[in-house]
Amino acid sequence: MEHETLTREFMGLTFDLTTVLVTVASCIIVFLVVFICTRNLQLKPTGKQNFIEWVIDFVNNIVSTSIPGKRGDRFKLLGFTLFLFVFVSNMVGLPLVLVIDDIQWWKSPTADPIVTLSLAMMVILMSHFFGVQEQGFKNYFLNSYIRPVPFLLPIKLFEEFTNTLTLALRLYGNIFAGEILIGLIASLANSFGAVTWLVGVPLQIAWQGFSVFIGSIQAFVFTTLSMVYISHKIGHEETVEHKEYVEAS
Amino acid sequence: MMFNQLVIGSATSAGNTLVVLVSFLILLLLLKKFAWKPVTEMMEKRSETIANDLDGAKQAQKKANELVAEQQNKLAALQQESAKLIEQAQVNATRMEKEMIEEAKDSIAQMKKQAKMDIAFERQQALDDIKNEVSVLSLKIAEKLIGKELDTATHAKLVDEFIERLADSNETK
């Protein structure tokens, strides 16, 4: 089910125009939805404001589960943006997969491993950055790689790369497989004209419904794991406080 | 093929990565400016307002309870006072009644006494009148009987004795 994509060279870099198009489109959709929902903010919320506050509360809960207290506040916007971007990216490929002359024009950006790997790399790099910022380089290094036992150092270094890969490829695999199946069901439905539509359309409806479910779950998982990785890099003070709290209570 | 793009340094992936990261960052900043800050501020303001309202309600209830207690105390005091006033009034009325009765009795007694004195005086006067009349009459009678004029002083003495006896016999009757 692999199709050619439209590529352009620009300033010595090659850009996959399909990915650029759907990524920017997802960003615009996210921005428009959030922008429209946050007009006319009221102290007593109604309708669309309720919806966006529900989303914010949902993401805030994800963040504060991994990074409790005030320290989690600075990551809430990141979690919010990640969640909405990944969710919308998972969804945009469901109603429409556009292939013209074997060139793919429209799909989910998250069905492209480069997009998911970029996001995962960004999250992992941020986790290291915030780890150094919160604890200083020495403590960051000790807590990340040396403690509790030094001989785990190679495994811990290796883990940084596997984290990135699993975070990205889990999302990519789910969405890419979903789109492949959508394409397969579509070609099945078209294999013998209108007769096979009777089978294909209900099947497609069911699979798209399931894909909505998978896309939501994957957006949730991606955001949750991003916050867990960040909390692993910055969270050592918090565990001390937590222990003290547990002992005190 | 997709997996050619995974190779680090492959010409395709760097550009796409850049696009994804830049567009994500722009989205993040736009959301922060247009949505995140106002919504977060609004949510904080709301939780603050709710907390304040709850505190206010608690205080208002406390105040209301205090007022009710105060009013009840006042009412109880008023009731006590009014009971006291009624009691006082009753005592006063009883006392006044007694006083009036006393006064009436006194004045009746006074009037009786006065009447008795008047009666006694009148009687005395009548007796004196009669005495004079009798003495004059008896003098005249005696003049006629004995034909001689008695000297008035001796005669008065005689009459007095007579009347004394008359009065005594009168009183014993």
Q: Does residue A170 form part of some domain?
A: yes
pLDDT at A12: 67
A17 contacts in chain B (CB < 8 Å): none
Q: Does residue A202 form part of some domain?
A: yes
**Facing B31 at nearest CB: one of A31, A53, A122:** A31
pLDDT at A133: 87
**pLDDT tens by residue, A4-17:** 667 766 776 777 78
Q: Does residue A1 form part of some domain?
A: no
pLDDT at A220: 93
Is A51's pLDDT higher than 90?
no
B45 contacts in chain A (CB < 8 Å): 43
**Of A239 and A198, which is predicted with more confidence?**
A198
Average pLDDT over residues A132-138: 85
pLDDT at B83: 95
Sketch the domain layout of chain B as residue ranges. 12-172
Average pLDDT over residues A92-97: 79
Q: By residue range, what is the domain housing residue A107? A: 7-248
Is A214's pLDDT higher than 50?
yes
CB contact under 8 A, A2 and B20: no
Query: DSSP letters of chain A?
Result: ---B--EEEETTEEEEHHHHHHHHHHHHHHHHHHHHHTSS--SS--HHHHHHHHHHHHHHHHHHHHS-GGGGGGGHHHHHHHHHHHHHHHHHTTT--EEETTEEEE--GGGSHHHHHHHHHHHHHHHHHHHHHHHHHHHHHIIIIISS-GGGHHHHHHHHHHHHHHHHHHHHHHHHHHHHHHHHHHHHHTTTGGGGHHHHHHHHHHHHHHHHHHHHHHHHHHHHHHHHHHHHHHTHHHHHHHHHHHHH-
Is A239's pLDDT higher than 60?
no
Q: Does residue A213 form part of some domain?
A: yes
Is A238's pLDDT higher than 50?
no
Q: Does residue A2 form part of some domain?
A: no
Spans in chain B with pLDDT lower than 70? 1-12, 147-150, 170-173
Mutate to test the interface with B, among A13, A89, A119, A171 (most CBs of B within 10 A): A13
pLDDT at A146: 83
Q: How many domains does chain A have?
A: 1
Q: Does residue A244 form part of some domain?
A: yes
**Contact indicator for A13, B15 with CB cutoff of 8 Å:** yes
ipTM surpasses cut 0.85: no
pLDDT at A20: 86
pLDDT at A194: 77
A49 contacts in chain B (CB < 8 Å): 39
Model-wide pTM > 0.80: no
Q: Closest Cα of chain A to B40: distance in Å?
A: 9
